[in-house]
């Protein structure tokens, strides 16, 4: 009986350790700043997208509903620059991000601000989109979109959500149309 109990305890320990090890570098950045003064952290899940879709029955609402139908979550981390001078999310994320797991879509460098769009794929399907912005004190944000992502729909999502930092995602929509 003691051997069975010990085996169960070890198995549970191994499972919990494995789940903790699966936390991504991006998750660790969110965890580091989540709830701290001067940082805004927003997480929207699939149920939230479904609720928004049900509330807006216009043509735009239907377009948004289609755009988010295969998304799992959107997470946003933004810094209040007045309180957190000297923090550069771009540099911090790029230091810990496993570059072999992501492909770069686009980089924008403008007056001391760096913005990078990166994706993670499984086969031919984009499963994660990162927007990493930092450099100047005004533009520090990290946006993570998870699910089955259609890049053509990202601009629609950004326009409909109207959340600070999301406006950078419209750049992907314009890039796609060219």
Confidence at residue 9, expressed as pLDDT on a 0 to 100 scale: 36
pTM of the full predicted structure?
Answer: 0.73
Q: Please, which residues have CB within 8 angstroms of residue 140's CB and are 6 or more apart in sequence?
A: 78, 79, 81, 84, 87, 88, 89, 90, 133, 134
Average pLDDT for residues 15-26, to the nearest whole number? 52
Per-residue pLDDT tens for 133-148? 887 656 788 999 999 8
Question: Measured in Å, how far apart are the chain's first and last C-alpha atoms?
Answer: 68
Per-residue pLDDT tens for 56-87? 778 777 777 777 788 899 999 988 766 667 78
Q: Please, which residues have CB within 8 angstroms of residue 41's CB and are 6 or more apart in sequence?
A: 30, 33, 34, 35, 75, 76, 77, 78
């Amino acid at each position: 009986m003691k051997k069975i109990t010990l085996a169960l305890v070890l198995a549970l320990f191994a499972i919990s350790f494995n789940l903790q090890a699966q936390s991504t570098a991006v998750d660790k950045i969110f965890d580091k700043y989540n709830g701290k003064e001067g940082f805004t952290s927003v997480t929207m899940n699939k149920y939230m997208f479904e609720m928004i879709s049900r509330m807006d029955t216009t043509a735009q609402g239907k377009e948004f509903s289609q755009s988010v139908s295969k998304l799992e979550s959107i997470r946003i981390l933004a810094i209040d620059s007045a309180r957190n001078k000297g923090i550069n999310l771009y540099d911090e994320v790029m230091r810990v991000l496993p570059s072999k797991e992501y492909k770069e879509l686009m980089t924008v460098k403008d007056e001391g601000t760096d913005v990078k769009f990166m994706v993670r794929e499984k086969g031919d399907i984009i499963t994660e989109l990162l927007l990493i912005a930092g450099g100047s004190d005004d533009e520090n944000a990290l946006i993570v979109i998870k699910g089955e992502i259609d890049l053509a729909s990202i601009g629609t999502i950004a326009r409909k959500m109207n959340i600070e930092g999301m406006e950078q995602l419209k750049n992907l929509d314009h890039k796609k149309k060219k």
